[in-house]
Amino acid sequence: MKIINKEKVMQWVFLLAACTSILAVSLICFFLFTNGYTALKEIGLQDFVLGMSWRPKNEIFGIFPMIIGSIYVTAGAILFGVPLGIFTAVYLARFCPLNLYKILKPAIDLLAGIPSIVYGFFGLMVIVPFIRDNLGGNGNSLLAASILLGIMILPTIISISESAILATDKTYYEGALALGASHERSVFFAVLPAAKSGILAAIILGVGRAIGETMAVIMIAGNQPIIPNSILQGVRTMTANIVLEMGYAADLHRLALIATAVVLFVFILMINLSFSMIKRRIR
């Protein structure tokens, strides 16, 4: 009887925790959309989303360059971080010697705990000067932000992808070996496809980290509200735009920044839904 009561109590505790999480997200959405709607109504949805100029002093609020900047930086981070992260996960899961694994695994886990401001200093002192000295420009650029975000999403992609690979049924690997495949072919053509659902989940979380990152991007991206014509030009993301100006914004300017957060929220939601559809097709 006591066991049953304990189970019921824990069920209610878990239900309360779930409802609290849903309530918190709902309140955030309510705040964003109610304030963002006011700005969009006054500025105009088309002028706001597709506007090419951001001049708050003249009450001109166009965030299209920031939308493009966010897409470019995220895409660059994916191109740099996803292949490297997946191959590292494969190495750790199936090729790495145990003695070396004991060193690499804690080091990768440590990367996940480093504050973003530290990554920003690394980019400012290492990546930016390297680009400036070897490729031209002032170094604060789309390329610098993409490389740094690619590094920042590595721990997430590596850890989740490795877990997905290790969780695959051993019969995939053993069956491939029984059919005459080498160790490498068994891993890449049997184990890796079986783990693609978990790897896709790792990519989704990595993309979410890249889109939402702010401080590190502010330090090295150049923060220019223009559409870059080159990877060596500066760029401003939506998150950077909010952080840079929210401290002194007022009235319509402040509401426009909140509306930027709404666009960012919808943007992330669309990406997650797209990945979810791809994941369902893969299954």
Per residue in 111-168, pLDDT tens?
888 888 899 999 999 999 999 989 888 888 899 999 999 999 999 999 999 999 998 8
In the block, residue with structure tokens 């890249």:
210
Q: CA torsion sign, 63 to 264 to 247 to 255?
A: positive
Q: Please check the confidence at residue 282 and state whether its pLDDT lies above 80.
A: no
Give the per-residue pLDDT at 2: 52
CATH 1.10.3720.10 is the classification of domain 54-282: yes
What is the percent of the chain where pLDDT is above 90?
Answer: 27
* pLDDT tens sequence across 225-252: 888 888 888 899 898 888 888 888 788 8
pLDDT band at 279 (very low <50, low <70, confident <90, very high): low
* DSSP structure class, residue 189: I
pLDDT band at 216 (very low <50, low <70, confident <90, very high): confident
Give me the mean pLDDT over the 63-85 stretch.
91
What are the residue boundaries of the structural domains of the chain, listed by start? 54-282
Please, which residues have CB within 8 angstroms of residue 58's CB and are 6 or more apart in sequence? none
- At residue 61, the 3 state secondary structure works out as strand
Q: Please check the confidence at residue 201 and state whether its pLDDT lies above 60.
A: yes
What pTM value is reported for the model? 0.84
* pLDDT tens sequence across 260-278: 988 888 888 887 787 777 7
Judge contact between 148 and 135, C-beta under 8 A. Answer: no
Q: Which of 262, 281, 200 is nearest to 63 (CA)?
A: 262
Buried b (16+ CB within 10 A) or exposed e, 113-130: eeebeebbebbbeebbee
Give the per-residue pLDDT at 30: 87
Please, which residues have CB within 8 angstroms of residue 104's CB and are 6 or more apart in sequence? 92, 96
Judge contact between 78 and 206, C-beta under 8 A. Answer: yes
pLDDT band at 198 (very low <50, low <70, confident <90, very high): confident
In the block, residue with structure tokens 């401003």:
236
> How many degrees, rounded to 5, is the angle at CA 245 between CA 239 and CA 250?
125
